[in-house]
Structure 1
Amino acid sequence: MAAILLVTTCHVCAQEASDDSDLSQWTIDRITPIHDRVSRWVSNTSRNIDGFFGTDDHLNTSNKSYIRLSQELQWEEGEGFSADPGIRFKLDLPTTEERLRLIIESDPEETQGTLAEQGSQRLRNDDRDPGNTVIGLSRLSGKDWARNWDTKFGAGVKFRLPLDPYLRFDAERLWDLGSGPWQLASENRVSWFNSDGYFARTRWDFGRPLDEVRHLRFVTNVQWQEEEDTLEFSETAALHQVLGRRSVIRYAAVVVGSSASNPRINDYYLQTLYRRNVHRNILYADLIPELHFHRDTDFDPRWGVTLRLEMFFQGDIVRR
């Protein structure tokens, strides 16, 4: 299926189809029954579990459960080609006790490696571990993050043997800066896993729209993992542009470094990310060329490119 989708996507990705799809009718006829069956299973399963733990409103409440299948084709100068399939899922139970939510998700943020390893949001093969799935409860504040700090406290286990308990605290806030278009968002997380120790991350996103189709952002990330025992930071300047109803592009310049007492830069890179809604909010394609200047290669330029296909199976009904 991946080969069929890849060929079809590459052939017509530059065209704007009136029916919100770049796929041929032959391809649509083959993937739609499979997608609908899996999506119904995701919806029915999540809502049945939500009904068991929650209230009778589970059939009428928006449910954000999903399964995402992905296939990445990567090339890096000096490393060659690699293919990397992946699956991620999240089970959302919104009508459990008021402001209490049961969450099941794979590959949580704490398992996605260092900032240097994350790069273009790609995981190394050894990080894609089914044992990284977590199940837990989150207590929501229910506050509007544009007016107050929106906090969330969670606890649960990493689903493997022996079970690995965790605690997690999140806090988010959004500010409008004066009467102008600038906004500042803060997203913060502190967590503890019995096997990996403590994790802390803060993200500050400063940005504004330039016009109806362009948005400018400056993002600062600071992250610390007990397992790595290194404070990391990254600075990103990015320009987001809407190209059409189903296409967006992002141009970014990124600096990644480490250590607070003796700061050092480990990587500079330039990145362009083109994302296309290939088929009706179900199938997406990303094309990501990058130019890296790594410390471990004496900052010599090295090219890389990633082609990523993603298919979503969502709990809520999606228009076909």
Structure 2
Amino acid sequence: MNFKYLILLMSFAALHCQSAQDEQGAAQKDEPEQAYPWLDDMHENIAQSVQDTAIWFDDFFFLDGVMHQEVAQAEARIRLGWEPRTRELNQFQNRFRVRVRLPNLKNRLDIVLSDYDDEAALGNERLGRDDSFGDSDRLNLALRWRSRPNSGFSHRIGVGRGLQTFVKSRYRNHYSLATDTLLRIEGSVYYYSDDGFGSHFSSKFDYSANVDTLYRFDNNFYYRDRTKDWLWRHSWQSLHQFNRKTAIITGYYIEGLSRPNYQLNEHYVSMRWRQNALREWLFYEVEPFVLWRRDEHFSPSYGLALRVEGFFGHS
């Protein structure tokens, strides 16, 4: 990964931040399109490559005599990040995810390629540390099938976690408890050829204090057959949107294991500033944080995460 390129993108985003806050109206919409044309070329090339791949996959499943007006679509999400902290300055976290939708199979089958799996959902990573599942290779390629495009049940088969074959079934849904309160639940069970069985259960409560502020309580439990224990994660977050381009997320996060006893392994606090800059598809984040870990005797470690994130293709 060319980290000089990452730093260059962050520099451009930082220079744009002040002007984005001061400029309003139509002039603000027109100006970004005139600057940095290389961004448009890069976005067009990546988006076109992703789209061509989607069409190729969809044609592979084409059935003679069946015509579909809908064109196969693909979306890609790429994140580059540097998360230095005291005692660990070389913490880099780079993630990508590509999803292909196939209308020739009535949009019931998706192809998902990523370098992370659902245990480390993009956008909610733990800072300044390796994955506690102990896997350095998170490349994941899977076919996801649903009986209906809007079904809460989905099933996957593919390879991941160091080219292990796996199967997975998941249920995900949400329920409105009140006009301002939403409950999201998810449960899954899966089997990896080397790691064995595992399961995941999560519940997420969202409370909308007003149109700009959301409070979230997130709970996750994972059973790991390989280590015969439960990994748990809890978080309390406040999400505030200043405008359609700028938001801030503050939170407190804790994580631990069930063996040898139910104990805390790490916790941290952070404040994430997220800004949409230069283009509608480009975002950057600045996130100062403080991390305490058991294997570091819970001595505070201070850090600053810097990230650039781009969206390509069609959602």
Regarding TM over 0.5, the answer is: yes
Tell whether 2:30 aligns with 1:31: no
- Amino acid in structure 2 at the alignment position of 1:78: R
Q: 2:294, 2:116 → 1: CA distance?
A: 28
Tell whether 2:109 aligns with 1:107: no
Bigger CA drift: 12-21 or 32-41?
12-21
3-state SS in 2 of match to 1:89 = strand
Q: 1:261, 1:176 → 2: CA distance?
A: 38
Bigger CA drift: 259-268 or 40-49?
259-268
Bigger CA drift: 164-173 or 92-101?
92-101
- Amino acid in structure 2 at the alignment position of 1:290: F
User: Judging changes above 3 Å, is the alpha-carbon distance between structure 1 residues 257 and 140 closer, same or farther for their aligned structure 2 residues?
Assistant: same
Tell whether 2:165 aligns with 1:165: yes
- Counterpart of 1:47 in structure 2 is 55
User: Judging changes above 3 Å, is the alpha-carbon distance between structure 1 residues 3 and 24 closer, same or farther for their aligned structure 2 residues?
Assistant: farther
- Counterpart of 2:187 in structure 1 is 188
3-state SS in 1 of match to 2:243 = coil
Q: CA deviation at 1:315?
A: 4.0
RMSD: 3.1
- Counterpart of 2:274 in structure 1 is 275
Per the normalisation by structure 2, the TM-score is 0.82
Q: 2:17 aligns with which of 9, 13, 18?
A: 13
Q: 2:6, 2:260 → 1: CA distance?
A: 47
Q: How many pairs align?
A: 299
User: Judging changes above 3 Å, is the alpha-carbon distance between structure 1 residues 198 and 58 closer, same or farther for their aligned structure 2 residues?
Assistant: farther
Indicate conservation of the 8 Å contact 1:269/1:291, yes or no. yes
- Counterpart of 2:284 in structure 1 is 285
1:149-198 deviation line (CA, Å, top 9, x unaligned): x11122234498xx642111010121122x44212110122111112222
- What does 1:10-159 correspond to in 2, within 5 Å? 10-16=14-20, 17=23, 18-20=27-29, 25-26=34-35, 28-54=36-62, 56-57=67-68, 59-60=70-71, 63=73, 65-84=74-93, 86-98=94-106, 100-109=108-117, 112=120, 118-120=125-127, 129=137, 132-143=139-150, 150-158=152-160
- Counterpart of 2:258 in structure 1 is 259
- Amino acid in structure 2 at the alignment position of 1:119: R
- Amino acid in structure 2 at the alignment position of 1:57: H
3-state SS in 2 of match to 1:75 = coil
Q: CA deviation at 1:123?
A: 5.8
Q: CA deviation at 1:233?
A: 1.1
Q: CA deviation at 1:261?
A: 7.6
- Amino acid in structure 1 at the alignment position of 2:52: N
Q: 1:253, 1:231 → 2: CA distance?
A: 21
User: Judging changes above 3 Å, is the alpha-carbon distance between structure 1 residues 69 and 226 closer, same or farther for their aligned structure 2 residues?
Assistant: same
Q: 2:161, 2:88 → 1: CA distance?
A: 33
- Amino acid in structure 1 at the alignment position of 2:214: H
Indicate conservation of the 8 Å contact 1:50/1:58, yes or no. no
Q: 2:30, 2:188 → 1: CA distance?
A: 38
Q: CA deviation at 1:68?
A: 3.2
User: Judging changes above 3 Å, is the alpha-carbon distance between structure 1 residues 96 and 168 closer, same or farther for their aligned structure 2 residues?
Assistant: farther
- Amino acid in structure 2 at the alignment position of 1:75: P
Q: CA deviation at 1:252?
A: 0.5
Q: 2:202, 2:242 → 1: CA distance?
A: 27
Indicate conservation of the 8 Å contact 1:155/1:167, yes or no. yes
1:190-213 deviation line (CA, Å, top 9, x unaligned): 111112222211110012110010
Q: CA deviation at 1:56?
A: 3.6
1:217-255 deviation line (CA, Å, top 9, x unaligned): 111111122233321112211110001121111111112
User: Judging changes above 3 Å, is the alpha-carbon distance between structure 1 residues 293 and 123 closer, same or farther for their aligned structure 2 residues?
Assistant: closer
List alignment gaps of at least 5 residues for structure 2. Answer: none
3-state SS in 2 of match to 1:38 = helix
List alignment gaps of at least 5 residues for structure 1. Answer: 145-149
- Amino acid in structure 1 at the alignment position of 2:172: E
Indicate conservation of the 8 Å contact 2:70/2:103, yes or no. no
